[in-house]
Amino acid sequence: MCVTPGRELFRWLEFEGQRAFRADQIMGWIYRKWTLDPLEMQNLPECLRIRLSDSFSCGTVKMLDSQSAPDGTAKLLLGLHDGQTIESVIIPHGSRTTFCLSSQVGCPVGCRFCASGTGGLVRNLHAGEIVEQLLACCRHYGARPDNLVFMGVGEPLMNLDNLLVALEAICDKARFDFAQRRITISTSGWTAGIRRLAECRRQFNLAVSLHGSDDSVRKKLIPNCRRPLHEILDACDHYRSQTGRMVTFEYTLIDGVNSRPEQATELADIAKRSRAKVNLIPLNAVPSLPFGPPQRDVIKKFMSVLEARGVQVSIRIGKGSSVAAACGQLRSSAGTY
Protein backbone atom coordinates (compact mmCIF):
# COMPACT_ATOMS: atom_id res chain seq x y z
CA MET A 1 0.00 0.00 0.00
CA CYS A 2 1.23 3.46 -0.86
CA VAL A 3 1.13 4.76 2.68
CA THR A 4 2.28 8.36 2.57
CA PRO A 5 0.32 10.31 -0.01
CA GLY A 6 -3.22 10.59 1.35
CA ARG A 7 -4.30 12.91 -1.47
CA GLU A 8 -3.33 10.36 -4.12
CA LEU A 9 -5.50 7.77 -2.46
CA PHE A 10 -8.45 10.18 -2.43
CA ARG A 11 -7.96 10.85 -6.15
CA TRP A 12 -7.64 7.16 -6.93
CA LEU A 13 -10.83 6.32 -5.02
CA GLU A 14 -12.69 9.10 -6.82
CA PHE A 15 -11.45 7.80 -10.16
CA GLU A 16 -12.64 4.31 -9.19
CA GLY A 17 -16.10 5.69 -8.36
CA GLN A 18 -15.72 4.93 -4.63
CA ARG A 19 -17.31 6.97 -1.84
CA ALA A 20 -15.04 9.35 0.13
CA PHE A 21 -15.45 7.52 3.45
CA ARG A 22 -13.54 4.56 2.01
CA ALA A 23 -10.36 6.65 2.32
CA ASP A 24 -10.92 7.02 6.07
CA GLN A 25 -11.48 3.27 6.38
CA ILE A 26 -8.26 2.53 4.50
CA MET A 27 -6.28 5.09 6.52
CA GLY A 28 -7.68 3.50 9.68
CA TRP A 29 -6.38 0.10 8.67
CA ILE A 30 -2.96 1.45 7.78
CA TYR A 31 -2.29 3.95 10.53
CA ARG A 32 -4.33 2.62 13.46
CA LYS A 33 -4.22 -1.15 12.86
CA TRP A 34 -0.86 -1.12 11.02
CA THR A 35 -2.30 -3.39 8.32
CA LEU A 36 -0.95 -2.79 4.85
CA ASP A 37 -2.43 -5.68 2.91
CA PRO A 38 -5.73 -4.53 1.33
CA LEU A 39 -6.94 -8.14 1.25
CA GLU A 40 -7.05 -8.02 5.07
CA MET A 41 -9.16 -4.82 5.22
CA GLN A 42 -12.34 -6.60 6.11
CA ASN A 43 -14.78 -3.71 6.12
CA LEU A 44 -14.04 -2.93 2.44
CA PRO A 45 -16.00 -4.63 -0.34
CA GLU A 46 -14.08 -7.54 -1.84
CA CYS A 47 -13.87 -5.91 -5.28
CA LEU A 48 -12.24 -2.81 -3.76
CA ARG A 49 -9.77 -4.93 -1.78
CA ILE A 50 -8.73 -6.67 -4.99
CA ARG A 51 -8.47 -3.39 -6.95
CA LEU A 52 -6.32 -1.86 -4.19
CA SER A 53 -4.13 -4.94 -4.09
CA ASP A 54 -3.67 -4.84 -7.88
CA SER A 55 -3.04 -1.08 -8.01
CA PHE A 56 -0.63 -0.43 -5.15
CA SER A 57 2.53 -2.09 -3.93
CA CYS A 58 1.53 -3.33 -0.52
CA GLY A 59 3.69 -3.96 2.49
CA THR A 60 7.08 -3.76 0.80
CA VAL A 61 8.94 -3.69 4.13
CA LYS A 62 9.16 -7.19 5.61
CA MET A 63 10.43 -8.38 8.98
CA LEU A 64 13.44 -10.66 8.43
CA ASP A 65 14.76 -11.05 11.94
CA SER A 66 14.42 -9.67 15.43
CA GLN A 67 16.46 -9.95 18.59
CA SER A 68 15.41 -8.95 22.08
CA ALA A 69 17.62 -8.08 25.05
CA PRO A 70 16.75 -8.76 28.70
CA ASP A 71 16.20 -5.00 29.21
CA GLY A 72 13.37 -5.13 26.64
CA THR A 73 15.24 -3.51 23.77
CA ALA A 74 14.36 -5.15 20.47
CA LYS A 75 16.28 -4.82 17.27
CA LEU A 76 14.50 -5.51 13.98
CA LEU A 77 16.09 -6.40 10.67
CA LEU A 78 13.71 -5.35 7.89
CA GLY A 79 13.91 -6.37 4.24
CA LEU A 80 13.07 -3.99 1.38
CA HIS A 81 11.62 -4.73 -2.06
CA ASP A 82 15.03 -4.74 -3.76
CA GLY A 83 16.69 -7.13 -1.32
CA GLN A 84 18.33 -4.39 0.76
CA THR A 85 17.93 -4.32 4.53
CA ILE A 86 17.55 -1.74 7.26
CA GLU A 87 17.48 -1.81 11.05
CA SER A 88 15.07 -0.34 13.57
CA VAL A 89 15.31 -0.47 17.35
CA ILE A 90 12.50 -0.49 19.90
CA ILE A 91 13.69 0.92 23.22
CA PRO A 92 11.41 0.74 26.27
CA HIS A 93 12.39 2.99 29.17
CA GLY A 94 10.08 3.06 32.17
CA SER A 95 6.53 3.56 30.99
CA ARG A 96 7.62 5.07 27.68
CA THR A 97 8.93 3.57 24.47
CA THR A 98 11.12 5.05 21.77
CA PHE A 99 11.40 3.73 18.24
CA CYS A 100 14.74 4.42 16.57
CA LEU A 101 14.33 4.46 12.78
CA SER A 102 16.71 4.39 9.82
CA SER A 103 16.63 6.92 7.00
CA GLN A 104 18.98 5.35 4.44
CA VAL A 105 20.33 1.98 3.40
CA GLY A 106 23.93 2.27 4.61
CA CYS A 107 25.37 5.67 5.40
CA PRO A 108 27.56 8.10 3.44
CA VAL A 109 29.14 9.65 6.55
CA GLY A 110 31.23 6.62 7.51
CA CYS A 111 31.93 7.41 11.18
CA ARG A 112 34.98 5.35 12.11
CA PHE A 113 33.30 3.77 15.17
CA CYS A 114 30.05 2.80 13.46
CA ALA A 115 29.19 -0.50 11.72
CA SER A 116 26.76 1.29 9.40
CA GLY A 117 29.46 3.51 7.99
CA THR A 118 31.72 0.71 6.80
CA GLY A 119 29.72 -0.15 3.68
CA GLY A 120 28.97 3.44 2.58
CA LEU A 121 25.63 4.62 1.23
CA VAL A 122 23.57 2.18 -0.84
CA ARG A 123 20.47 4.31 -1.35
CA ASN A 124 17.95 6.60 0.28
CA LEU A 125 14.78 5.16 1.77
CA HIS A 126 11.62 6.27 0.02
CA ALA A 127 9.05 8.12 2.11
CA GLY A 128 6.75 5.08 2.04
CA GLU A 129 9.56 2.84 3.28
CA ILE A 130 10.23 5.17 6.21
CA VAL A 131 6.55 5.08 7.20
CA GLU A 132 6.30 1.30 6.66
CA GLN A 133 9.32 0.88 8.93
CA LEU A 134 7.42 2.72 11.67
CA LEU A 135 4.33 0.58 11.11
CA ALA A 136 6.45 -2.60 11.21
CA CYS A 137 7.78 -1.52 14.62
CA CYS A 138 4.21 -0.87 15.84
CA ARG A 139 3.15 -4.35 14.66
CA HIS A 140 6.12 -6.00 16.35
CA TYR A 141 5.71 -4.07 19.60
CA GLY A 142 1.91 -4.12 19.59
CA ALA A 143 1.65 -0.41 20.41
CA ARG A 144 2.52 3.04 19.17
CA PRO A 145 5.74 4.63 20.43
CA ASP A 146 5.90 7.62 22.78
CA ASN A 147 8.92 9.02 20.96
CA LEU A 148 10.45 8.62 17.54
CA VAL A 149 14.12 9.22 16.84
CA PHE A 150 15.79 9.18 13.45
CA MET A 151 19.10 7.94 14.84
CA GLY A 152 19.25 4.58 13.09
CA VAL A 153 21.25 3.90 9.96
CA GLY A 154 21.83 6.84 7.65
CA GLU A 155 22.15 10.61 7.71
CA PRO A 156 18.50 11.78 7.77
CA LEU A 157 19.28 15.29 6.56
CA MET A 158 20.81 13.86 3.37
CA ASN A 159 17.47 12.26 2.61
CA LEU A 160 15.42 15.24 3.62
CA ASP A 161 12.93 15.30 0.73
CA ASN A 162 11.73 11.78 1.51
CA LEU A 163 11.96 12.29 5.26
CA LEU A 164 9.75 15.38 5.12
CA VAL A 165 7.08 13.54 3.11
CA ALA A 166 7.18 10.68 5.62
CA LEU A 167 6.98 13.09 8.56
CA GLU A 168 3.97 14.77 6.99
CA ALA A 169 2.16 11.41 7.06
CA ILE A 170 3.43 10.59 10.54
CA CYS A 171 2.26 13.91 12.02
CA ASP A 172 -0.96 14.31 9.98
CA LYS A 173 -4.01 14.12 12.26
CA ALA A 174 -5.87 12.02 9.68
CA ARG A 175 -3.01 9.57 9.41
CA PHE A 176 -0.53 8.58 12.18
CA ASP A 177 -1.24 11.74 14.21
CA PHE A 178 2.08 11.94 16.05
CA ALA A 179 3.29 15.12 17.82
CA GLN A 180 6.21 16.93 16.18
CA ARG A 181 7.79 17.59 19.57
CA ARG A 182 8.08 13.85 20.17
CA ILE A 183 10.22 13.39 17.05
CA THR A 184 14.00 13.83 17.10
CA ILE A 185 16.04 14.13 13.94
CA SER A 186 19.71 13.38 14.39
CA THR A 187 22.43 14.64 12.09
CA SER A 188 26.18 14.33 11.92
CA GLY A 189 26.20 18.08 11.29
CA TRP A 190 25.01 18.37 7.68
CA THR A 191 24.53 22.11 7.71
CA ALA A 192 22.60 22.47 4.44
CA GLY A 193 20.02 20.06 5.86
CA ILE A 194 19.88 21.80 9.24
CA ARG A 195 19.17 25.11 7.52
CA ARG A 196 16.53 23.61 5.26
CA LEU A 197 14.84 21.90 8.18
CA ALA A 198 14.89 25.20 10.08
CA GLU A 199 13.03 26.88 7.21
CA CYS A 200 10.25 24.29 7.54
CA ARG A 201 9.58 25.80 11.01
CA ARG A 202 8.37 22.55 12.48
CA GLN A 203 8.78 21.64 16.15
CA PHE A 204 11.03 18.62 15.65
CA ASN A 205 13.90 18.14 18.10
CA LEU A 206 17.28 18.49 16.43
CA ALA A 207 20.18 16.37 17.74
CA VAL A 208 23.61 17.16 16.30
CA SER A 209 26.32 14.56 16.71
CA LEU A 210 29.51 16.45 17.48
CA HIS A 211 31.64 13.58 18.84
CA GLY A 212 34.54 16.03 19.11
CA SER A 213 35.06 19.44 20.67
CA ASP A 214 37.27 20.62 17.81
CA ASP A 215 37.66 20.03 14.09
CA SER A 216 40.77 17.85 14.44
CA VAL A 217 39.00 15.23 16.60
CA ARG A 218 35.95 15.33 14.34
CA LYS A 219 38.23 14.77 11.36
CA LYS A 220 39.55 11.57 12.97
CA LEU A 221 36.06 10.23 13.64
CA ILE A 222 33.96 11.52 10.74
CA PRO A 223 35.74 10.99 7.43
CA ASN A 224 33.03 12.08 4.95
CA CYS A 225 30.47 14.85 4.52
CA ARG A 226 31.99 16.68 7.49
CA ARG A 227 31.38 20.39 7.94
CA PRO A 228 33.52 22.74 10.05
CA LEU A 229 32.40 23.16 13.65
CA HIS A 230 31.81 26.94 13.33
CA GLU A 231 29.50 26.32 10.35
CA ILE A 232 27.55 23.70 12.35
CA LEU A 233 27.16 26.04 15.31
CA ASP A 234 25.87 28.82 13.02
CA ALA A 235 23.36 26.40 11.48
CA CYS A 236 22.22 25.36 14.98
CA ASP A 237 21.73 29.02 15.91
CA HIS A 238 19.58 29.38 12.82
CA TYR A 239 17.53 26.29 13.74
CA ARG A 240 16.92 27.65 17.23
CA SER A 241 15.96 31.09 15.97
CA GLN A 242 13.53 29.71 13.38
CA THR A 243 11.87 27.07 15.56
CA GLY A 244 12.44 28.21 19.14
CA ARG A 245 13.70 24.70 19.89
CA MET A 246 16.78 24.00 21.99
CA VAL A 247 19.32 21.87 20.10
CA THR A 248 20.95 18.80 21.66
CA PHE A 249 24.60 17.97 21.04
CA GLU A 250 25.20 14.22 20.97
CA TYR A 251 28.70 13.21 21.99
CA THR A 252 29.86 9.61 21.72
CA LEU A 253 32.53 9.09 24.36
CA ILE A 254 35.45 7.05 23.02
CA ASP A 255 38.37 5.95 25.12
CA GLY A 256 41.60 7.79 24.33
CA VAL A 257 40.01 9.92 21.59
CA ASN A 258 37.59 12.50 22.98
CA SER A 259 37.13 11.84 26.69
CA ARG A 260 39.77 14.03 28.38
CA PRO A 261 38.65 16.67 30.93
CA GLU A 262 39.99 19.52 28.78
CA GLN A 263 37.84 18.24 25.92
CA ALA A 264 34.87 18.34 28.29
CA THR A 265 35.71 21.98 29.03
CA GLU A 266 35.79 22.80 25.31
CA LEU A 267 32.49 21.00 24.79
CA ALA A 268 30.95 22.93 27.70
CA ASP A 269 32.03 26.22 26.13
CA ILE A 270 30.49 25.21 22.80
CA ALA A 271 27.24 24.09 24.43
CA LYS A 272 26.93 27.26 26.48
CA ARG A 273 27.59 29.44 23.45
CA SER A 274 24.87 27.56 21.55
CA ARG A 275 22.49 27.29 24.53
CA ALA A 276 22.39 23.55 23.79
CA LYS A 277 21.91 20.47 25.92
CA VAL A 278 24.54 17.73 25.80
CA ASN A 279 23.79 14.02 25.62
CA LEU A 280 26.80 11.83 26.36
CA ILE A 281 26.81 8.35 24.84
CA PRO A 282 29.52 5.94 26.00
CA LEU A 283 30.43 4.04 22.83
CA ASN A 284 28.56 0.81 22.24
CA ALA A 285 31.60 -0.95 20.81
CA VAL A 286 31.53 -2.79 17.49
CA PRO A 287 33.75 -5.89 17.83
CA SER A 288 35.43 -5.43 14.45
CA LEU A 289 36.37 -1.77 15.06
CA PRO A 290 39.28 -0.54 17.21
CA PHE A 291 37.33 1.74 19.56
CA GLY A 292 35.86 1.27 23.01
CA PRO A 293 34.10 3.29 25.70
CA PRO A 294 36.09 5.02 28.46
CA GLN A 295 36.18 3.63 31.99
CA ARG A 296 33.30 4.56 34.29
CA ASP A 297 35.33 7.08 36.33
CA VAL A 298 36.48 8.86 33.14
CA ILE A 299 32.86 9.19 32.02
CA LYS A 300 31.83 10.53 35.44
CA LYS A 301 34.64 13.07 35.39
CA PHE A 302 33.74 14.21 31.87
CA MET A 303 30.12 14.67 32.90
CA SER A 304 31.03 16.54 36.08
CA VAL A 305 33.12 19.07 34.11
CA LEU A 306 30.10 19.86 31.96
CA GLU A 307 27.78 20.11 34.96
CA ALA A 308 30.20 22.35 36.85
CA ARG A 309 30.07 24.76 33.93
CA GLY A 310 26.28 24.88 34.06
CA VAL A 311 25.57 22.75 31.00
CA GLN A 312 22.40 20.66 30.95
CA VAL A 313 23.82 17.19 30.42
CA SER A 314 22.41 13.68 30.29
CA ILE A 315 23.98 10.33 29.66
CA ARG A 316 22.55 7.62 27.45
CA ILE A 317 23.46 4.22 28.79
CA GLY A 318 23.81 1.69 25.95
CA LYS A 319 20.70 -0.46 25.95
CA GLY A 320 20.40 -3.79 24.26
CA SER A 321 24.10 -4.46 23.93
CA SER A 322 23.34 -8.20 23.95
CA VAL A 323 21.39 -7.78 20.71
CA ALA A 324 24.10 -6.00 18.73
CA ALA A 325 22.29 -2.74 19.31
CA ALA A 326 25.12 -0.50 18.21
CA CYS A 327 24.15 1.15 14.96
CA GLY A 328 24.36 -1.21 11.99
CA GLN A 329 25.47 -4.32 13.85
CA LEU A 330 22.46 -6.53 13.18
CA ARG A 331 22.56 -5.67 9.50
CA SER A 332 26.29 -6.33 9.51
CA SER A 333 25.98 -9.69 11.26
CA ALA A 334 23.25 -10.68 8.80
CA GLY A 335 25.94 -10.37 6.11
CA THR A 336 24.21 -7.64 4.18
CA TYR A 337 27.48 -5.74 3.87
Give the residue numbers marked as catalytic: 87, 327
Our CB check for ligand SF4 shows the closer of 13 and 149 to be: 149
Binders of ligand SF4 among residues 191 to 230 (CB under 6 A) are none
Q: Taking the complex as a whole, how short is the minimal distance between the CB of residue 289 and ligand SF4, in angstroms? A: 11
Q: Taking the complex as a whole, how short is the minimal distance between the CB of residue 38 and ligand SF4, in angstroms? A: 34
Do 212 and 258 touch, CB atoms closer than 8 A? yes
111 near ligand SF4 (CB under 6 A): yes
Do 294 and 282 touch, CB atoms closer than 8 A? yes
Our CB check for ligand SF4 shows the closer of 179 and 317 to be: 317
Give the CA diameter of the chain: 69
Q: Taking the complex as a whole, how short is the minimal distance between the CB of residue 282 and ligand SF4, in angstroms? A: 14
Q: Single out the residue of 150, 149, 171 nearest to residue 6, CA to CA.
A: 171
Our CB check for ligand SF4 shows the closer of 175 and 211 to be: 211
Q: Which of 3, 13, 89, 109 binds ligand SF4 (CB under 6 A)?
A: 109
Q: Taking the complex as a whole, how short is the minimal distance between the CB of residue 269 and ligand SF4, in angstroms? A: 24
Cα separation, 165 vs 137, whole angstroms: 19
Binders of ligand SF4 among residues 308 to 327 (CB under 6 A) are 327
Q: Which of 61, 107, 131, 313 binds ligand SF4 (CB under 6 A)?
A: 107
Angle at 178 between CA 210 and CA 63, to 5 degrees: 80
254 near ligand SF4 (CB under 6 A): no
Do 41 and 35 touch, CB atoms closer than 8 A? yes
CA torsion angle for 209, 180, 86, 65 (degrees, to 10)?
120
Within 8 A by CB and 6+ apart from 72, the residues are 91, 92
Q: Which of 6, 38, 117, 294 binds ligand SF4 (CB under 6 A)?
A: 117
Stretch that binds ligand SF4, among 56-64, 149-157, 163-171, 261-269 (CB under 6 A): 149-157
Q: Which of 60, 85, 116, 159 binds ligand SF4 (CB under 6 A)?
A: 116
Cα–Cα distance list, 320 to 69, 209, 282 (Å): 5, 21, 13
Q: Taking the complex as a whole, how short is the minimal distance between the CB of residue 294 and ligand SF4, in angstroms? A: 18
Listed in sequence order, the DSSP H helices in 172-228 are: 191-200, 215-221
Contacts to ligand SF4 by CB under 6 A: 107, 109-111, 114, 116-117, 153-155, 188, 327
